[in-house]
Amino acid sequence: MLIGKVKGSVVSTRKCDNLVGNKFMIIDVLEHMQNGAKQLIAIDKIGAGIGEYVLVAQGSAARIGSGMPDAPIDAAIVGIIDDGTGLE
């Protein structure tokens, strides 16, 4: 699991059927948590907003955490951090 900050959103008018109606966000991964990627795209089923710190699950944990075990998802926002003091 990673911690990141929501930077923006992604609009996709054409996508797999089981992704229709879902929101995708651009996440800046916090520097000390980076494992190669500085940014990633994550599905957002909990309503995170731009500028918020979020918990991001990856791989099969992302699919399970988002309630979409058969969807082609690699990252999902699974929590919004209430107080990001000291994270950066």
Q: What mean pLDDT is predicted for residues 15-36?
A: 86
Q: Is residue 74 part of a domain?
A: yes
By CB atoms closer than 10 A (0-12, 13-18, 19+), residue 6 is: buried
Residue-number span of the structural domain to which 18 is assigned: 2-80
What tokens were used for 46? 């909990």
In the chain, the number of structural domains is: 1
- 42-88 pLDDT, tens digit per residue, is 999 999 999 999 999 999 999 988 888 888 999 999 999 998 777 77
Please tell me the pTM assigned to this model. Answer: 0.88
pLDDT(11) > 80:
yes
Residue 33's alpha-carbon distances to 5, 8, 25, in angstroms, are 12, 19, 18
Q: Is residue 39 part of a domain?
A: yes
pLDDT(34) > 70:
no
Q: Is residue 60 part of a domain?
A: yes
Residue 38 belongs to domain with CATH number: 2.40.50.220
Q: What is the pLDDT of residue 85?
A: 79
For 71, residues 6+ apart whose C-beta sits below 8 A from its C-beta are 16, 18, 19, 43, 63
Q: Is residue 48 part of a domain?
A: yes
